[in-house]
Structure 1
């Protein structure tokens, strides 16, 4: 089997797009739906408010009874009762009558305005009005906030606290959401140790396991970190097999040597099929795309920036598609801070930081942790381009805001 038969990025994306994740949907309680992706449009089952209600404490009136009121011609209305929030009025106003009403309470029949109690004079069982009210004064009409049948949340939208609050306001108790794609994450390399372990000479702490797992969770999936595979066949094979058992996708961040990358491809080939071993991009040329038991398996570079760049290019669209979203990462336009050079014939992805609409290239190299941490995203430099000038408009693919 020959490895590193480099293919164009477009071919790699075609293969990724051929994968399907038949995850389906499930119904969950609204109290458990935060962060989930909605599987169907949700419409309001009721009007909000569901009745005409008072927006102030005061007196519900028939506006026409007050039209002639003035300082010179005060009008008296008889108080025939009180209505408080949560009560259903049992009376209807007749000519010359009013009721005291609390904020949020339902208006009685025939009432179409509420005058604040500060604007009237109460004398016994009467109020004295010195200026006219108009229909709708102090009233929120039925359905004016949210009308029955209004679209509240679109299919593919992620539920934040504002969306869950909105659904709660219309009485929705359960929502249908896409099942979370499960992604098994494996870090590799003898030099990698987990945070909390003693760092010995020649070792570094793992960043990719945490970054990939949480990136999956942020997207709406379920990241499952399986641990670190050492640079031997059995260790790697055992974790890949576990990943295929427990997840829908397996993502491996590569070891430090070319031999380890070949080992990863060899194990995937033994268990399934290697579809791509090498993509014509920099960084991340040795990236692997495979399939085991119908499940996609990705072998990504070990350097953090390269790993997260290729994760964004290849894995994120697959996850978004599985979640019923567009399958495209978010991009923004910016102006390049200063001129950069590239190698003609090599398609390059360069991390950048965004500063007020300006893309600042990060040139520390993909092996630097802060290259990824400082980056808001990356720009693509085509293989036909040798340099990009200062001030030129570029398109930034974002790491966040998926």
Structure 2
């Protein structure tokens, strides 16, 4: 890639909208216990209505609503207590005009009843007689047999990661296994003669332990993917191409950290061009402009800047959505965020997306600054805010949205 092509950068929005590989992971069946955050490959229909029977939503008395009309504390309605319904059992008594049946929350509504009066609005003034001091409308205190889910309705849609309530609804419907996309396998390659494994005890002058790969693995895992460490590749002609040819057949996504800029030592662009098609080399984002996106025979590849902070920021913006997409999720789950006031002026350049690390204290977002080689800027941050491409900065006191780190 020429220098001129490098500096004709795509926006992050263009990358998210335009770089969308067709590849999707295989489908597998998993039990509910292993399904949290997995992405269903197809909608799951309800085999039967839920809850499946009319039931009470309160502790009280099943009644004919018409028998309570006009009831008040000054002029209560009096009903004959005909019996009680036990939890988990079919009613053995029906409600007739002028009568009522005691029911606990969740019990089956007995035949003849169309409402339940809360126990707080009743009193047993005489043995076998219930005094009702407030009227109830038909359907009050009752859930219909298919009010939760109708038979054949979609319990959970395809393409949205399963949440804890989804698992509960599936269990209630008797669905014990789900067809989901497999976790995306993400091969992580580090490059550079100066990069050594984290286990290296004594560093030679100029050497650095590989911090980026471990952090990227955490982001991949958090996005529902499976990180696959693919080692460190030295700055030698042909070495990266050889490693790419080794990992591509088994990967759904390849991430190469370092080597994506235009320096003489940077091999990523040349190696990737030899095995695939480069979609863009350069994103209008700070930090992280020297980012490369490519398609290598159907396997997407992300080439990241060498500085750890830049690499992690960019991967969060374009890599994490790719991990979700490959696993069948078109729209990643929204991150947690909060509103805050900006604590100081922020300068920016129009035409690029600025990602600014911040702390949040008592509703004030204070920017954190430091070289992009410093991971400590990220570890000290509570989250980040974005300065949009058209803006030339933000004034102190501006209300901003801060995306929070978990």
Does TM, scored on the shorter chain, surpass 0.5?
Answer: yes
Is this contact kept in 1: 2:259–2:267, CA < 8 A?
no
Give the one of 351, 360, 371 matched to 1:365. Answer: 371
What is the CA–CA distance in structure 1 between the aligned matches of 2:223 and 2:76, rounded to whole Å? 66
- TM-aligned CA deviation for residue 243 of structure 1: 2.3
Residue pairs, 1:2-401, within 5 angstroms: 5-10=5-10, 13=14, 17=19, 19-23=21-25, 25-40=27-42, 46-55=48-57, 60-62=62-64, 75=78, 77=80, 79=82, 82-95=84-97, 99-112=101-114, 113=116, 116=119, 119-120=123-124, 123=127, 127-131=128-132, 134-135=135-136, 139-143=141-145, 146-148=148-150, 153-202=156-205, 203-233=207-237, 236-254=240-258, 261-274=265-278, 276-278=280-282, 282-322=286-326, 323-326=328-331, 336-341=342-347, 347=352, 349-353=354-358, 355=360, 359-375=365-381, 376-377=383-384, 379-380=386-387, 388=393, 390-391=395-396, 398=403
Residue 130 of structure 1: SS of its match in structure 2? strand
Q: Which runs of 5+ in 2 are unaligned?
A: none
- Structure 1 residues 255, 87: closer, same or farther in 2, change over 3 A? same
What is the CA–CA distance in structure 2 between the aligned matches of 1:36 and 1:254, rounded to whole Å? 31
- TM-aligned CA deviation for residue 185 of structure 1: 1.0
Residue 215 of structure 2: SS of its match in structure 1? helix
Residue 106 of structure 2: SS of its match in structure 1? coil
- The two structures, once aligned, show a CA RMSD in angstroms of 4.5
Is this contact kept in 2: 1:16–1:314, CA < 8 A?
no
- TM-aligned CA deviation for residue 300 of structure 1: 0.8
Is this contact kept in 1: 2:259–2:304, CA < 8 A?
no
TM-score with structure 2 length normalisation? Answer: 0.75
- Structure 1 residues 93, 210: closer, same or farther in 2, change over 3 A? same
Is this contact kept in 1: 2:219–2:316, CA < 8 A?
no
- Out of 256-265 and 82-91, give the one that drifted further: 256-265
- Structure 1 residues 60, 133: closer, same or farther in 2, change over 3 A? farther
What is the CA–CA distance in structure 2 between the aligned matches of 1:341 and 1:137, rounded to whole Å? 60
- TM-aligned CA deviation for residue 248 of structure 1: 1.4
TM-score with structure 1 length normalisation? Answer: 0.76
CA deviation map 1:198-226 (0-9, x unaligned)? 24244433322122222222223332222
Is this contact kept in 2: 1:69–1:130, CA < 8 A?
no
Matched positions, count: 394
